[in-house]
Amino acid sequence: MLARRHLVALAVTALLAAGAACQARDQRPPQRPGPPAPSAARGFTLVASGDVLPHSSVIDRAQFDAGGAGYDFRPMLEAVKPVVSRADLALCHMETVYGANGAYTGHPLFASPPEIAQALAATGYDGCSTASDHSLDDGAAGIQRTLDVLDGAGVRHAGTARSEAEARSVTLLRAGPATVAHLAYTYGTSRPVPQDQPWTVGLIDENRIRADARAARTAGADVVVVSLHWGTEWQDAPDDRQLALARTLTAFRTGDRPDIDLILGTHAHVPQAYEKVNGTWVVYGMGDQIAGEMVNQQGVQDPRGNESTVARFTFAPPARPGGRWEVAKAEFVPQQFDVDAGRVVDLDKALAQGAGVEGVRDRIRDVVLSRGAAKDGLVMGE
């Protein structure tokens, strides 16, 4: 659904110019992380963002931005590029699969242009979670196509698989001096998981997640990040299942070290709270980073469906060998997808350019802090 027409064209233009002027990291090819540098004493920053959900209007905009020849999603993400590219590790959520030969659809079954992968890489994303309720919109072939394209763009992925061996492997990424494991799961899929290929999509199961997290440690992960596609659509507050699962997963420990170091949530279409649970940060929902005009369950256009946050966590190295990498700083950056301009907008920067979005920013802030995260140090970042 489309957001309210909050942003004037001049504010968006100025914001994009400011974002383009910021220094950005070069696109990096996929890497096989080696062992952590033995003398490294510095920490690292991790950023994560919400659902990339290209409806037909978003696809049309990308075609327009490409001048009618193909699709260009890079301008949509230009404003978030400074935040993403400066991080040591940046993760997105690619909710849809990629189509082929120009057969692209936006709803209810999604098949997105594969050019999105190049835009994600150009923005600075290192990896994406791909487990969602739309993972099987085009069957196993859609998963194969999507992961092939992400590989070609140099964007790592977790949550769906082309083979049983791939499903059993651990996605390891380098984040400064640390090795980070990225695991991803969904509550379910819009089409049944193939009985002869049950490994195509990671489904939420407490025991499996625990086993996978421990396998990630064995594979060399210093930090284990779990992406969960969960929750109740259009509900600002996390539902009972989210709360219970967060408590369970953050309580899993091996010795005096938790098995999971960070949980990142998607799916609800709206921003949800951040909370520290059993000493581990949980982002219940980051909202939709890119989506068309959204209609809620009452059939009403709902601008919340174009609101989101970027989560940013700064990890400090352990005080002793084998100890936990602790979050030294927790931040969120409020954003909105301006459906008229076809652009992600950093709301604080938009305010500085004179756009009247203070109410939107403040609503997102209030939701994010609604479970008391401020007392644990969560702040609104830039």
Lowest mean pLDDT across 32-41, 116-125, 130-139: 32-41
Mean pLDDT estimate for the chain = 91
Give the pLDDT of residue 19.
Answer: 39
Measured CA distances, 382 to 87, 239, 352 (Å): 13, 29, 12
Among 327, 334, 328, 345, smallest CA distance to 368 is for: 334
pLDDT tens string 316-362: 999 998 899 999 999 999 999 999 999 999 999 999 999 999 999 99
Give the pLDDT of residue 214.
Answer: 98
As a residue count, the chain comes to 382
Residue 28 pLDDT grade (very low, low, confident, very high; cuts 50, 70, 90): very low
Give the pLDDT of residue 6.
Answer: 38
Could you tell me if 301 and 293 are in contact, meaning their C-beta atoms sit under 8 angstroms apart? yes
Give the pLDDT of residue 24.
Answer: 35
pLDDT above 50: residue 33: no
293: tokens are: 């005009």
> Can you tell me the distance from the alpha carbon of 211 to that of 285, in angstroms, rounded to the nearest whole number?
24
pLDDT tens string 205-259: 999 999 999 999 999 999 999 999 999 999 999 999 999 999 999 999 999 999 9
Give the pLDDT of residue 322.
Answer: 87
Higher pLDDT, 34 or 226: 226
Give the pLDDT of residue 371.
Answer: 98
Helix axes 240-251, 206-218, angle to 10 degrees: 40
pLDDT above 60: residue 2: no
Among 200, 185, 6, 2, smallest CA distance to 106 is for: 2
pLDDT tens string 161-179: 999 999 999 999 999 999 9
Give the pLDDT of residue 68.
Answer: 83
Could you tell me if 341 and 65 are in contact, meaning their C-beta atoms sit under 8 angstroms apart? no
Give the percent of the chain with pLDDT over 90.
88
- 3-class secondary structure, 203: strand
Residues linked to residue 307 through DSSP beta bridges, in sequence order: 336
Q: Where are the domains of the chain?
A: 43-346+363-380
96: tokens are: 């849809």
> Can you tell me the distance from the alpha carbon of 331 to that of 310, in angstroms, rounded to the nearest whole number?
8
Q: What is this structure's pTM?
A: 0.90
User: Taking the domain 43-346+363-380, which CATH number applies?
Assistant: 3.60.21.10
The whole-number average pLDDT for the span 69-93 is: 98
Q: What share of the chain is helix, strand, coil (3-state, %, to 5)?
A: 30, 25, 45
> Can you tell me the distance from the alpha carbon of 186 to that of 57, in angstroms, rounded to the nearest whole number?
26
Residue 308 pLDDT grade (very low, low, confident, very high; cuts 50, 70, 90): very high
Higher pLDDT, 192 or 5: 192
